[in-house]
Amino acid sequence: MLSTSCYLRTWERFVSEGVLDSNRLNKRIMESWYRCKKDQVNPYLNKGKHILTDELLDIQREKNSFLLEVASPQLSRMNQSIKDSGMMALLVDPDGYVLSLSGNEKILDEAGKINFVEGVCWTEGEVGTNAIGTALKTGEAVMIQGTEHYSIASHKWSCSAMPILNEDGKILGVLDISCPVEYYHPSMLGMVANLAYTIEQEMGMRSYKKELALTQQSIELAETYPDLPFIVCNHKQMIISASKQVRKKIPQSIGMALADLLNHGYRIVKENPLLSKEDNRISGKCLFLSENHVREANRLFPASMPSERFAFEGERGISESFHNTLRKVKLVAPTEANVYISGETGVGKELIAKAIHDNGMRKKGPFVTINCGAIPKDLMESELFGYVDGAFTGAKRQGHKGKFEQANGGTIFLDEIGEIPSAMQVALLRVLQERKIVPIGGTKSISLDIRIITATHRNLEKLVNEGSFRKDLYYRLNVYPIHVPPLRERIEDIPYLVNYLCSNNNWNIPLTEELLIRLKDYHWPGNIRELQNVLQRLTILLAEGPLDYGKVLNSMHSQPVTPHDDFPSWEEPGDKKGIKGNELTIREKIQRDLMIEALQKSRGNVTAAAKLMDIPRSTFYKRLHKYGI
């Protein structure tokens, strides 16, 4: 919404009298105005007042070198587009200092007039409500327009900002796109969100590569010190590798916090820093251990990660990949941001949506879920928006409340959002903008106070590029994306999931170590839903007498699975029985030999072998099957 005389009068009355009509402003902006009033920020400030000297700015850039290193190429890639749009892009550190600024030269000159320059501090405490400062304060994506800004310095500007987070949800910086209000474009927030998300993914990938280097060093250490127990920790004090003795005693040691492992009867006797091979920076450490013989930790089901005060109806397990997903849920749940959940069929996207609701501000309200792919197109409008008495032939006499109205005061979860037809996409966009609906046959609009969460197992960005899903709707829904990993990427969680599913369904299956090992060896194309079906099948078969688990579970490998074209299948075409050695191409022979070599170096540990080759574990498993290794 652009700056208007109405907003200007609202601002003037607030700064002079402290009176504010809550219907005039977005809740987050209103809360920010009150913070600024309380902190005595000068609303008549006409420019930034705190600018670092060149020397101090260099120090600040050095402190945030990793952020700059990753973000700069992404900003350069977008620079021409930002210039042509009459905009500028800013990278800001967690303290609110502008580290870099690029874009349209004319716009940069205008920004300089209010000291919107590199080195300036642009927090709420310095210049009042603004996209950068408010994003830092709330941890949310935010758009601030014209006189929504608290200080007059920014009244002629339109700004959109998005925090850049690490895998633990910590703010590493803020990305901002700004322009004069006359150049405002509704896609600004979507541009910022997608660019920030790309930077987050790249930072995560670089951290992952550093851990690969540490894992390689740990394999070399294992060859050098075959009889000594040791672990390798990353910079977050999480264990990413362990010697054979430690893994044998504590099977779940990989991914465990160092402090938790020391509770299992070990103490540190020597500590060596380890370097990242790419840039010679310390990125982890090797800890040599000795046993205290306090207690043994060889239970079949060791305790999973601490529960904390966080509502989640499913089983968390211990995998880092799924706990990264839960960290994002914890971060976004208390906010108002729209969340888009992606992931393959059967991974538990509805559980994630429910967790966002249960830990949010509307947790006492209803949680309404609807599968958009299961509703006939001609019934979708009445199902979502409802209808009044007599709206059409066959309508219920008292009318019908649609899903949006049923969810009022709570959360609506639109699963398989990629399946809704184009006409309904327009209607949904209107609901997102106006927060109102009009039932079929009705004349009065119904105001909505709801949170909207969407999900799909399809590639929504691909649908946008193909033209079958509206780009503006995609940007509205994709404010905060959360990916739920497939089961094959969280194999270590299988014992916990099996125990949880059996307990919840009263399935009496003997959970032997042999069964769990066989379950871990399977690739689970149907994810947790398939695991549940398999356990139910075992329960039925066990009623007839003792089972040969190997025979039953081996039969799963031969069952065909038809994957969706947006996600890779487990088996590649023609690879069901593995390619014979004399049928391999030269490239495939080299690939197969490298895999065998990696398995030998890692002593058969598939996870470590995959890391050695710098490929996902799921890809490594595919190739194992393909080459018949």
CB 250 within 8 A of CB 297: yes
Angstrom distance (rounded) from CA 103 to CA 313: 46
DSSP symbols for 565-622: TTS--SSPTT-TT---GGG--HHHHHHHHHHHHHHHHTTT-HHHHHHHTTS-HHHHHH
Residue 497 to residue 531: CA distance in whole angstroms: 9
CA distances from 315 to 339, 348, 522 (A): 21, 10, 20
591 or 91, which is more confident: 91
Confidence (pLDDT) at 42: 93
Name which residue leads in pLDDT, 471 or 279.
471
Weakest-pLDDT range from 328-332, 427-431, 545-549: 545-549
Instruction: Extract the runs of DSSP E, i.e. beta strands, from 224-308.
Output: 230-234, 239-242, 266-275, 282-291
For the purposes of burial, counting CB atoms within 10 Å of the CB of 548, is it exposed (0-12), middle (13-18) or buried (19 or more)? exposed
Q: Which amino acid makes up residue 149?
A: H
Q: Given pLDDT bands bounded at 50, 70 and 90, which one contains residue 593? A: confident
The pLDDT of residue 562 is 34
pLDDT confidence of residue 412 = 96
Average pLDDT, integer, range 370-375? 86
Q: Which of 58-62, 489-493, 615-619 has the least mean pLDDT? A: 615-619
| β-bridge pairing 171-180 and 157-165 | antiparallel
Matching residue, tokens 């109405």: 6
Closest CA relative to residue 139, chosen from 161, 158, 159: 161
Which pLDDT belongs to residue 283? 62
pLDDT of residue 502: 86
Report how far residue 610's alpha carbon sits from residue 618's, in angstroms, rounded to the nearest whole number: 9
How far apart (Å, rounded) are the C-alpha atoms in residues 506 and 512?
A: 17
Residue 34 pLDDT level (bands cut at 50, 70, 90): very high
Q: What is the pLDDT of residue 426?
A: 92
pLDDT tens for each residue of 47-56: 998 899 888 8
The C-alpha atoms of residue 207 and residue 168 are separated, in whole angstroms, by 12
Averaged pLDDT for residues 406-432? 92
Residue 581 has pLDDT above 70, yes or no: no
584 pLDDT tier (thresholds 50, 70, 90): low
pLDDT of residue 303: 42
Q: What percent of the chain has pLDDT over 70?
A: 83
3-state SS, one letter per residue, for 427-482: HHHHHHHHCEECCECCCCCEECCCEEEEEECCCHHHHHHHCCCCHHHHHHHCCEEE
* Residue 31 CB coordination number (10 Å): 15
* pLDDT at position 392 over 60: no
CA pair distance 264, 249, nearest whole angstrom: 9
Summarize the confidence of residues 404-423 as an average pLDDT. 93
Say if CB 603 and CB 244 are below 8 A apart: yes
| Residue ranges in 52-150 assigned as alpha helix (H) | 54-63, 65-84, 105-112, 124-127, 131-138
Query: 260-293 pLDDT, tens per residue?
Result: 777 777 777 766 666 555 554 556 777 777 765 3
Q: Does 610 have pLDDT greater than 70?
A: yes
Looking at residue 308, its pLDDT comes to: 47
Give me the pLDDT at residue 275, please: 58
In the sheet that holds 171-180, the strands lie side by side as 98-103, 88-92, 171-180, 157-165, 142-145
Per-residue pLDDT at 465 exceeds 70: yes
Q: In angstroms, rounded to a whole number, what is the distance separating the alpha carbons of residues 569 and 591?
A: 20
What pLDDT does 397 receive? 60
Q: For residue range 559-569, list pLDDT tens digits in order.
A: 433 333 333 33
CA angle in degrees (0–180, nearest 5) for 113-114-115: 95
Q: What whole-number percentage of the chain has pLDDT above 90? A: 35
**Span 596-609, mean pLDDT?**
76
What pLDDT, on a 0 to 100 scale, did the predictor assign at position 398? Answer: 67
**What DSSP assignment string belongs to 501-562?**
HHHHHT------HHHHHHHHHS--TTHHHHHHHHHHHHHHHHTTS---HHHHHHHHHTS---
Neighbouring CB atoms inside 10 A of 4's CB total 12
| Among the listed residues 420, 430, 431, the one whose alpha carbon sits nearest the alpha carbon of residue 463 | 420
In angstroms, the CA 307 to CA 112 distance is 49
User: Residue 617: pLDDT band by 50, 70, 90 thresholds?
Assistant: confident
List all residues 6 or more positions away from 390 whose beta carbon is below 8 Å from its beta carbon.
441
Structure tokens at 577: 């029985």
Q: Which pLDDT score, from 0 to 100, does residue 56 have?
A: 84
φ, ψ (nearest 5 deg) of residue 119: 95, -10
CA proximity to 29, closest of 117, 166, 121, 140: 140
How many other β-carbons are positioned within 10 Å of the β-carbon of residue 348?
A: 22
| Nearest residue to 454 (alpha-carbon basis) of 565, 337, 543, 563 | 337
**Which tokens go with 500?**
């949880």
Rounded distance, CA 426 to CA 223, Å?
62
Instruction: With a cut of 60, say whether residue 305 has pLDDT above it.
Output: no
What's the pLDDT tens digit per position in 116-156?
999 999 999 999 999 999 999 999 999 999 999 999 999 99
CA pair distance 26, 418, nearest whole angstrom: 29
- Exposure string for 432-448, b = 16+ CB within 10 A, e = fewer: eeeeebebbebeeebeb
Tell me, what's the pLDDT at 591?
A: 74
Q: Does the model's pTM come out above 0.85?
A: no
